[in-house]
Amino acid sequence: MPIERPLDPANPTRRFRSFLNRAGLRHIRFHDLRHSTTTLLLEQGIDLVVIKELLGHAHIGVTATLYAHVRLRLQPDAIDTLSTALASPAGHDPTRGDGNDPPLCGVLVR
């Protein structure tokens, strides 16, 4: 029967470093995997509230502050998406109609 003793907190780090060495990858901290995962989730459009819960942050402000650089980088994509949606709403065929169609959004005033 093995002797039970506290886990050495350096073991996961040593094991991870060993994996990196065998794979021929550059050294990163084990904790960097958490940041990489979060960045990928944000880039895939996962809601910040969901990410906050996955990370275990008590307040969304912590998550928003830590990953503000990612959110800023995604702003041009958000603007492009909005521009595309406004220029060509789903189901709208600009080649049809006589030009007197009601607006696709907003309120029609009579």
Residue-wise pLDDT tens digits, 59-79: 999 999 988 888 888 888 888
Sequence-ordered list of residues with C-beta below 8 angstroms from that of 84, at least 6 positions apart, any chain: none
What domain count does the chain have?
1
Q: Report the length, in residues, of the chain.
A: 110
> What is the per-residue burial (b if ≥16 Cβ within 10 Å, else e) of 75-108?
eeeeeeeeeeeeeeeeeeeeeeeeeeeeeeeeee
Residue 42 lies in a domain: yes
Cα–Cα distance for residue pair 15/74, rounded to 1 Å = 34
Q: Judge if pTM exceeds 0.75.
A: no
Residue-wise pLDDT tens digits, 24-73: 999 999 889 999 999 999 989 899 999 999 999 999 999 999 888 888 88
Residue 7 lies in a domain: no
| Domain enclosing residue 35, as ranges | 31-78
Residue 100 lies in a domain: no
3-class SS of residue 49: helix
Residue 16 lies in a domain: no
Half-sphere exposure of 94 (CA within 13 A, CB side): 4
Residue 35 lies in a domain: yes
Residue 24 lies in a domain: no
